[in-house]
Amino acid sequence: MENAASRRYVFARGYIPMLKPFRRLPFAISVPGRMWCACLLAAVWLPALPARAQNEPVRVIAFGAHPDDCDLGAGGLAAKYAALGHKVKFVSLTNGDAGHQSLGGGQLAMRRRAEAQEVARRIGIEYEVLGNDDGRLLPTLEVREEVIREIRQWKADIVIGPRPNDYHPDHRYTGVLVQDASYMVIVPNIVTDTPALRRNPMFLYYSDRFTRPQAFRADIVVSIDDVYQKKVAMLDAHVSQFYEWLPWTVGQLDEVPKDPAVRKSWLATRPIAISNVRPEWRDAMEKLYGPEAQRIQHAEAFEITEYGRRPSEEEIRKLFPFFPTKWRSREPTGAISDRLHRLTCFSKLTFGCLLTS
Ligand SMILES: [Zn+2]
C-alpha cells in the first residue's frame, strides 16, 4: 500500500540516479545525462509548434451578416494584408436583399453582390455573398455547417466575426454561427465532405459599442492610417448602402452629393467611415506600437475570443506583421511566459512520474 514513506523512497530511487550524470559536470556527462539535459532544454527553449510555416501567407476569413459588414469592421486590416500578399476572404452570410428603401428581393441581392465584387477588385481580396435572406438569418445547423466549410476551405489562420450582442438579429446570429463553428472546424466527424483543420484558428470579434452583458475589449489594435483611403474606397463601392439606404434611415438622403467624386469625399468625413481611435483602445495600442501609438488616428480593434486558439504575443506579432519589430512591451512577453509555462509542465511531468511510478 502506498504511503508517504514509500513515495519518498520511489522518488529518491528515481531522482538520485538521474542526478548521477551531473556529478562530474562539466567535464563528462554520460549519455543518460545528456538526454536528460536535452529534454530539459527542448522543453524550455524550443518554440511552440508553429501554426504555419515561415513565409507562408497569413490566411484570414471574415464573416458579416450583410455585404458591407466585414468592410466596416475589418476593411483597413484586409487592405493591409492584401497589400503584403496575404490572403483575405470576406463572407456575407445573407444576400442583403432587405437593405434598401425602394429596391428589394432578387434585384437588390444582385446589386449588392456586384458591389461586393467591386470591393474585392479594388483591394485584391475574395468576397463571397451567400444566398440566405437578409433580415431572416437564423443560427441553424445548416448555416453553421456552411460557416465550418468556409473556414476549412480557406485554411484560415484567423477568423473574424461579430460579437453575439448587437442591435440587429442578423448580426447577433452571425456572431453565434461563427462562435459555434470555432471548435467544430477541427472535428473530422463533423462536415465530413470538407477535411477538418488540424489546428484551431485564432477567432476575433470586430469592435462594437454594445455594453451588455459586457463591453468589447480591445486586444489587438491595428493602425489603418496608411490604408484609410482604401477603406473609404471599399465603402464607396457599396453605393446602395452608403449613398442611399443608410442616409435614408437617418433622414439625411438629401445631404448626399450627386457627383461620384464629391460624394466619396463626403463619405470620408462621415463617422461611419472615419474609424477613429477610441480612448479605451490606447493601452492595447501602446503595448503593440510603443511610442508610435500616440500618432495613430485611424484604427481597427479586435477582441480575441475564448473559443479559438489563444496566441502568445510572439504569435500575434507573426500573424499581424504590422507592429514595430523593435518594440516589445515591458510586461513579460508571450514567448518568455510560454517558456516558463513549458518548464513548469516539464517539471510536473518528470517529478510527477517519479512520485507515482
Ligand atoms: Zn449589417
- Write the pLDDT tens digit of every residue in 12-22: 444 444 445 44
25 CA → ligand 1 middle, Å: 67
| Whether the predicted pLDDT of 343 surpasses 90 | no
Q: Distance between CA 73 and CA 173 in Å, rounded?
A: 16
Kindly give the distance from the C-alpha atom of residue 78 to the centroid of ligand 1, in angstroms, as a whole number. Answer: 18
Q: How far apart are alpha carbons 263 and 251 in whole angstroms?
A: 17
Residue 68 CA to ligand 1 centre (angstroms): 7
Amino acid 325: pLDDT: 82
CA of 69 to the centre of ligand 1 (A): 5
- pTM: predicted TM-score of the whole model, two decimal places: 0.79
User: For 163-215, how does the pLDDT look when each residue is reduced to its tens digit (9 = 90+)?
Assistant: 999 999 999 999 999 999 999 999 999 999 999 999 999 999 999 999 999 99
pLDDT exceeding 70 applies to what percent of the chain?
Answer: 76
Over residues 50-71, the pLDDT tens digits come to 456 668 999 999 999 999 999 9
pLDDT in tens, 312-326: 999 999 999 999 986
Whole-angstrom distance, CA of residue 156 vs CA of residue 145? 16
Measured CA to CA, the distance from residue 126 to residue 119 in angstroms comes to 9
Residue 341 confidence (pLDDT): 47
Q: What are the start-end ranges of the H helices in the chain? A: 4-19, 31-45, 69-83, 105-123, 141-154, 169-184, 228-237, 239-240, 246-249, 260-268, 271-274, 282-289, 313-319, 334-356
CA of 92 to the centre of ligand 1 (A): 9
pLDDT score, position 190? 98
**Angle 137-146-96 (CA atoms, 0-180°, nearest 5)?**
40
- Looking at residue 337, what is its pLDDT? 46
Q: Which carries the bigger pLDDT value, residue 121 or residue 357?
A: 121
Question: What local confidence, expressed as pLDDT, does residue 123 receive?
Answer: 98
Q: Can you tell me the distance from the alpha carbon of 206 to that of 79, in angstroms, rounded to the nearest whole number?
A: 16
Distance from the alpha carbon of residue 338 to the mean position of ligand 1, in angstroms: 38
How far apart are the CA of 93 and the centre of ligand 1, in A?
A: 10
Whole-number Å distance, alpha carbon 134 to ligand 1 midpoint, is 9
| Dist CA 294 CA 228 (whole Å) | 17
CA 54 to chain centre: 18
Under DSSP, the state recorded for 170 is: H
Distance 21 CA to ligand 1 centre (A): 66
**Ligand 1 center–CA 57 separation, angstroms:** 29
Give residue 334's pLDDT. 44
What CA–CA distance (Å, rounded) separates 44 from 238? 51
If you measure from the C-alpha of residue 299 to the centroid of ligand 1, how many angstroms do you get, rounded to a whole number?
20
Per-residue pLDDT, 47: 42
**Do 195 and 119 touch, CB atoms closer than 8 A?**
no
**Largest Cα–Cα distance in the chain?**
89
**321 CA to middle of ligand 1, Å?**
28
Q: How far, in Å, from the CA of 113 to the mean position of ligand 1? A: 14
Q: Taking 80 as the threshold, does the pLDDT of residue 158 lie above it?
A: yes
Dist. CA 67 → ligand 1 center (Å)? 7
Query: Cα(123) to centroid of ligand 1, in Å?
Result: 21
CB atoms within 10 A of CB 169: 14
**Could you give the 3-state DSSP secondary structure of residue 110?**
helix
Q: Are 33 and 130 in contact (CB under 8 A)?
A: no
Residue 128 has a CB neighbour count (10 Å cut-off) of 17
Mean pLDDT of 236-244: 98
pLDDT at 31: 58
Task: Read off the pLDDT of residues 99-113 as tens digits, 9 standing for 90 and up.
Answer: 999 999 999 999 999
- The strand pairing partners of 203, in sequence order, are 159
How many A from CA of 277 to the centre of ligand 1? 21
Tell me the CA–centroid distance for residue 248 and ligand 1, in Å: 15
Where residue 347 falls among pLDDT bands split at 50, 70, 90? low
Q: 7 CA distance to ligand 1 centroid (A)?
A: 62
Query: Picking from 6-10, 124-128, 147-151, 238-242, which range would have the lowest pLDDT averaged per residue?
Result: 6-10
Residue-averaged pLDDT of the chain: 86
In this predicted structure, what is the pLDDT of residue 55? 81
Q: Ligand 1 center to residue 77 CA distance, Å? A: 18
Residue 301 Cα to ligand 1 midpoint, Å, equals 18
CA of 34 to the centre of ligand 1 (A): 60
352 C-alpha to ligand 1 centroid (Å): 53
* Measured CA angle at 345 (ends 340, 351), to 5 deg: 125
Q: Identify whether the C-beta of residue 152 lies closer than 8 Å to the C-beta of residue 186.
A: no
Rg, Å, the chain Cα set: 26
Q: Which residues pair with 129 in a beta bridge?
A: 92
Percent of the chain predicted with pLDDT > 90: 74
Q: What are residue 259's phi and psi, to 5 degrees?
A: -70, 130
Q: Give the SS3 label for residue 16.
A: helix
Banded pLDDT at 40 (limits 50, 70, 90): low
